[in-house]
Amino acid sequence: MKGILICAHGSTESETGSAVREHSARVSSLTGFPVYYGFNASEEPSITDALHKMSADGFDNVIVIPLFFAPGFLANKIVPKALGMEPETTEGEVTIEGHTIRIRITGVFGDHPGMKDVLREVISSCGASAKDTAVILIGHGSKDGKNSATVRYNASFVSEMGYEVFCAYNEMQSPTVEEALKSALGTGCKQIIAIPMFVSPSVHSTEEIPAKLGIKEGRKTAVGNTEVIYCQEIGMHPKIADILAERAGSV
């Protein structure tokens, strides 16, 4: 019996779990397969417990979707390990209490071409005009550079739409959020749209980044004659579920 397991990082922010549940419901509807979910930390069930539940429910063919923006330590090492597989592996078999399960792990969502449609919808919802608007894509940042590579991949889509686009990172890499904001303001644009390339709300996206953009409350501020709009985390967009479903169908 075939099923899908969505693996997320987990957070103390309550919206994270609801986002995973909403994506899970839509992925199940799109694929026709039952969808379970598990978390690496902070929330229940754990990835390991979720897989054990699927085993107990009779599943012997499980497609695992890492709900992460970019490849890296969590998606490529922690998720396989939690499933009882070797790090960096994407396919294998595990045995749980005598029951063997075939596992295939998909790619993450941030480097999928469907992100172009997601970004187009997010930017359009702000009433943006390419002539007067600059866009800042804000990644978490990583030591191995994989996060920045995925942010730049998405920036290419925004550039194709005709917008001036800047990449920024909350930590570990540069340009910083403050540096990117300064560069965007330097274009003389009337509007700046800042998009956090995060899966879901966290202290990074709800407190640290808004402060760096000069936003004290809400999602907007003004710097001189320029309006700065801070969008919802990209991973919360409903169309991310479409990407997850496509990932599931590609393995």
- 91 and 136 belong to one structural domain: no
**66 and 11 in one domain?**
yes
What predicted TM-score, i.e. pTM, was given to this entire model? 0.94
Domain count, the chain: 2
- Within this chain, do residues 241 and 178 fall inside the same structural domain, yes or no? no
Residues tagged active-site: 140
Q: Radius of gyration (Cα) for the chain, nearest Å?
A: 19
46, 88: one domain: yes
Do 127 and 231 have their domain in common?
yes
Distance between CA atoms of 162 and 119, rounded to whole angstroms? Answer: 13
Assess whether 31 and 93 both reside in one domain. yes
The pLDDT assigned to 11 comes to: 75
Q: Tell me the C-alpha to C-alpha distance, in Å, between residue 228 and each of 130, 164, 177, 194, 247.
A: 15, 14, 13, 7, 34
Report helix, strand and coil shares of the chain as percent, to nearest 5: 40, 25, 35
Q: Are 43 and 201 in contact (CB under 8 A)?
A: no
Q: How far is CA 80 from CA 46, 64, 88, 183, 199, in A?
A: 13, 9, 7, 40, 19
The pLDDT of residue 16: 54
Residues 243 and 215 in one domain: no
Expressed as residue numbers, the domain containing 8 is 2-110+237-249
Do 108 and 68 meet the contact criterion of CB atoms below 8 Å apart? yes
At residue 146, the pLDDT reads 80
Residue 15 sits in a domain whose CATH number is: 3.40.50.1400
For residue 232, which of 181, 180, 195, 185 has the smallest C-alpha distance? 195
Same domain for 124 and 83:
no
Whether 133 and 182 share a structural domain: yes
Walking along the chain (251 residues) 10 residues at a time, the average pLDDT comes out as 95 67 94 97 93 98 97 96 97 97 98 98 95 97 87 98 98 96 98 96 93 96 97 96 97 87
User: For residues 152 and 83, is the Cβ–Cβ distance under 8 A?
Assistant: no
Task: Judge if 126 and 21 occupy the same domain.
Answer: no
